[in-house]
Amino acid sequence: MQRISVAPAARRRFPSPSRSASPTPSPTQSPTPPNTNSNPGSTWRGLDPASPSGSPTSSTHESAQRLRSPAHPHWQPYPIMRVYRDNQLYLPLLVLTTCAIGSLFPISAPYLRPFLLPSYQLSPADAAAVPMSAISPGIRSDPPPHTSLYGKGSLDAAFVALGVVAWTFARAAVIGGILKPFARACKCPSKLLDRFGEQGWLVVYYSLSWATGMYFAYNSPFWMNTAAFWEQYPHEYLTGPFKAYYLMQLSFWIQQLFVIHIEKPRKDHHQMLTHHVVTIALVVSSYCTNFTRIGCAVLATMDVGDIFLSSAKCFNYVRWRKLCDATFAFFVGVWLYSRHYVYLHILWSVYHELPERLSMVYAPERGHYMCTTAYWFFLTLLSALQVLLVLWLYLIIRVIVKVARGSGAEDNRSDDEEDDDDDDVMNDGDNDDDDDHQRKKSSDGVATTGSESPTDRPARKYRSKK
């Protein structure tokens, strides 16, 4: 049974019989009728407690606003986001199936194939004429004959759009068909099933994304060589798999903008929203200005840490505490190395090596987009990303301090929705079975007879429905 937490002030409105100040009426004494003007249940419905009929007042609007508060248990997304949330499986599947079938017919194929496959493929003759220096991500050894090189253009937006639909379907299918059944088998509390599904999906995505990005980075000239980001710029053409990888990354982060508005907001909601917007701006701008080499490096650097963070959260939700702590400890090391060592090297390359190796000349006809404005644009966004990482590092350090004091690893960054319950992630859901028992005890710890006052019944009935 999912427990709906009630604020301390609300709980005091439902005293147990042992705490009631009014004596129990004798058999010959008629009981005092309840005071309808102080009905505590009316405060849950946005009604005026002082109104005998419980008529709606101006507090109805305030209660409706509280339902949208991130800390309120009845939080719901905005109406347009509820439509998206409730149609994540079958509607995307219908769109994907329609595009796939339609691409088989000669009449509709030219219109639908840009949604399914990367556009602007070069002919074999044109691909053979492209110099190695103009290819991204590039190949360290002698390449095979160029048979799959792609340019860029406006039709890439169609591939990105269907990618958003594909990620929506994949997320809903994996969470509902695999992760939630697995969480139930691991005895995950019912109130944490959604959280387990969300974080489990991120483990799946980041594992695939990081492995793919590392494959491209390892086999490229810029592996362990940041100067290769800028050498022989511009890198106008992309290999087919790399173009699909880059555009699908963009699709994922656009889809995350929808996801962040259908999940129950967390305390770092605005930081996460800022992170997603900055990431999308960097991916789009680097793709359009032929800086996909450094874009690949940044994406691979960022993806690896989230694998272990989301894994630790999943272990936390199923109460595998030792594995959670060990994974979190490994995550801290990966985070520090990838996001505050490797990433700073990349940021330093933008700040120091880029001005030395590239001329600040805006020449779009040659694919050369680097100029003073573009330089400061990229440097500002990449620095803003590092500022967010430092803020999150501060919260990670708080967790480390708590672990050193003997507490379990708890992520302060995002899983606590209520400000007055700052570090209750590990205990969330532990007391579901004991909640009713605790309500039957008096203030001195002695169990009562188990009877309820009339004002206690609405609260228990409300919780039991949830």
Lowest pLDDT segment from 59-73, 191-205, 343-357: 59-73
- Judge residue 233's burial from the number of C-beta atoms within 10 Å of its C-beta, 0-12 exposed, 13-18 middle, 19 or more buried: buried
The pLDDT of residue 265:
80
Tell whether the model's pLDDT for residue 112 goes beyond 70.
yes
Q: Which of 188, 197, 194 is nearest to 429 (CA)?
A: 188
The pLDDT of residue 147:
60
pLDDT band, very low/low/confident/very high, at 175 (cuts 50, 70, 90): very high
Helix (H, G, I), strand (E, B) or coil at 23: coil
CB 310 within 8 A of CB 213: no
The pLDDT of residue 28:
45
The pLDDT of residue 230:
94
Q: Which of 140, 136, 127, 343 is nearest to 229 (CA)?
A: 136
Q: At what angle do helices 292-317 and 269-288 cross, to 10 degrees?
A: 150
Q: If you average pLDDT over each of 264-268, 275-279, 458-462, which comes out highest?
A: 275-279
Q: Cα 391 to chain center, whole Å?
A: 17
The pLDDT of residue 431:
39
> What's the whole-number mean pLDDT along residues 284-309?
95
Query: What are the tokens at 303?
Result: 């993806």
Q: If you average pLDDT over each of 21-25, 339-343, 406-410, which comes out highest?
A: 339-343
Kindly report whether the peptide bond that precedes residue 137 is cis, defined as omega within 30 degrees of 0: yes
pLDDT band, very low/low/confident/very high, at 24 (cuts 50, 70, 90): very low
Query: What are the tokens at 348?
Result: 């330093």
DSSP state of 187: T
Lowest pLDDT segment from 23-32, 60-69, 79-88, 334-343: 60-69
Tell whether the model's pLDDT for residue 33 goes beyond 90.
no
Mean pLDDT value across the chain: 77
Q: At what angle do helices 193-218 and 292-317 cross, to 10 degrees?
A: 150
- Single-letter residue type at 292: T
Tell whether the model's pLDDT for residue 114 goes beyond 90.
yes
Q: Which residues pair with 363 in a beta bridge?
A: 368
Helix (H, G, I), strand (E, B) or coil at 185: helix
> What's the whole-number mean pLDDT along residues 99-118?
94
Residue 438 vs residue 99, higher pLDDT = 99
Helix (H, G, I), strand (E, B) or coil at 47: strand
Tell whether the model's pLDDT for residue 420 goes beyond 50.
no
The pLDDT of residue 140:
60
Kindly report whether the peptide bond that precedes residue 241 is cis, defined as omega within 30 degrees of 0: no
Q: Which residues pair with 47 in a beta bridge?
A: 56
The pLDDT of residue 226:
93
Residue 72 neighbours by CB under 8 Å, 6+ apart:
66
Tell whether the model's pLDDT for residue 125 goes beyond 80.
yes
Query: What are the tokens at 264?
Result: 């129950």
pLDDT band, very low/low/confident/very high, at 339 (cuts 50, 70, 90): very high
Tell whether the model's pLDDT for residue 442 goes beyond 50.
no
In order, the DSSP letters of 223-258 are TT-GGGGTTT----EEEHHHHHHHHHHHHHHHHHHH
Tell whether the model's pLDDT for residue 56 goes beyond 90.
no
pLDDT band, very low/low/confident/very high, at 407 (cuts 50, 70, 90): low
Q: Which residues pair with 239 in a beta bridge?
A: 149
Lowest pLDDT segment from 114-128, 137-151, 241-255: 137-151
CA count, 13 A, side-chain hemisphere, 348: 9
The pLDDT of residue 405:
80
Tell whether the model's pLDDT for residue 457 goes beyond 60.
no
The pLDDT of residue 353:
94
The pLDDT of residue 347:
96
The pLDDT of residue 389:
94
Pairing label, strands 135-136, 237-239 = parallel
